[in-house]
Copies of this chain bind each other. A is one copy, B any other.
Amino acid sequence: MRQAGRYLPEYRATRKRAGDFLTLCKTPELACEVTLQPLARYPLDAAIVFSDILTIPDAMGLGLSLVEGVGPRFANPIRTSADIFRLGIPDPDIDLSYVGNAIRLIKRELNNKVPLIGFCGSPWTVATYMIEGKSNHDFTLVKRMLYDQPKLFHQLLELLAESSLRYLLAQIEAGADTVMIFDTWGGVLSTPAYLEFSLRYLKQIVTDIDDVVPTIVFTKGGGQWLESIANTGCSAVGLDWTVDVAKAKNQIGDRVALQGNMDPAVLRSHPMTIVNEANAIVEAFGAHPGHVFNLGHGITPDIDPDNVAVLIDAVHSRSATILCNSSI
């Protein structure tokens, strides 16, 4: 998830200078600046480019705006089949060049100290916003299209999968060391619908990236489908905080790395609780060499930055002890 964000005062300062969220994403110098802010503050092991999962539909001409406290809005959402037929695949070097430029800047600044993660949203997740036109947790319009016009909906998803692939390849070309696909809303689908309308396109993108770099697939609410996700051929599976780590290890073993999975809400509690929860997760993964600790979802604006420091310190020290003991 994004490491930068409104919980950091230095982010709020840059955001204020930028004027709005999209300008921040689209100005490579500013995107670079906020990407690096968490690394200046914390001893993190990786950076993730500051961007948004809705850059692709914005580049397709849907007119994205992000309003504080309201969420994303599209001025021109998808309403008819004609709206879909007229969509083109964005050229990442032209229509989304700001992301490649930000990555090049960030890589130069990072100077190989830590790897950089690029990302995009999953076709299904991005499609939900394009069709609803905004956040709608009932998914009224997009589910109606899914159920009643599956062929038409597949056309849209196919277009998004191809756009996402080109976008991720451009990020890799610009220097991203690994790429992650965020399927934020896969978990609202029935199992057959998830397999047909979300996982299928996750697999397609992962397959077409063809191990140029490691790939990470994350479906929020996807705990029931971990084996299917691991079978996409991805290098790592992101786990939200509801997933039982021991069970996940049993199900998919060493085939892929696992990333996760602390409840971000823990960051609101006492430092001692944060340490205990972090330790429990690190211990549950044990000496599993492919565990990447992160949060099961994003950091909310109300989190005290000092609590993030406590978390990172706890993860580093507990991991060191476990890895040290296991190599004896």
User: A50 — which chain B residues lie within 8 A by C-beta?
Assistant: none
Distance of A69 from chain B, by nearest CB (Å): 13
In Å, the complex CA distance between A280 and B190 comes to 12
The size bracket of the interface on A is 35 or more
Q: Considering only CB atoms, which chain B residue lies closest to A228 in the complex? A: B244
In Å, the complex CA distance between A190 and B300 comes to 18
Q: Oligomeric state, in number of copies?
A: 2
**0/1 per residue, A216-230, Cβ < 8 Å to B?**
000001011000000
Distance of A143 from chain B, by nearest CB (Å): 4
In Å, the complex CA distance between A302 and B261 comes to 37
Within 8 A of B (CB), among A143-162: 143-144, 147-148
In Å, the complex CA distance between A148 and B272 comes to 9
A242 with B221: CB separation less than 8 A:
yes
Q: Considering only CB atoms, which chain B residue lies closest to A188 in the complex? A: B242
Known: A191-B244, A242-B187. A265 touches B221 (CB 8 A): no
A265 with B138: CB separation less than 8 A:
yes
In Å, the complex CA distance between A192 and B241 comes to 10
User: A247 — which chain B residues lie within 8 A by C-beta?
Assistant: 191, 224
7 A-B residue contacts at CB 8 Å? A147-B266, A147-B269, A147-B270, A187-B221, A188-B242, A191-B242, A224-B224
Closest 6 A/B residue pairs (Cβ): A191-B244, A147-B269, A143-B265, A223-B224, A148-B269, A147-B273
A140-B265, A144-B269, A223-B223 known; 11 new pairs, CB 8 Å cut-off, are A138-B265, A143-B263, A143-B265, A147-B266, A147-B273, A147-B277, A190-B296, A191-B244, A191-B247, A192-B244, A224-B224
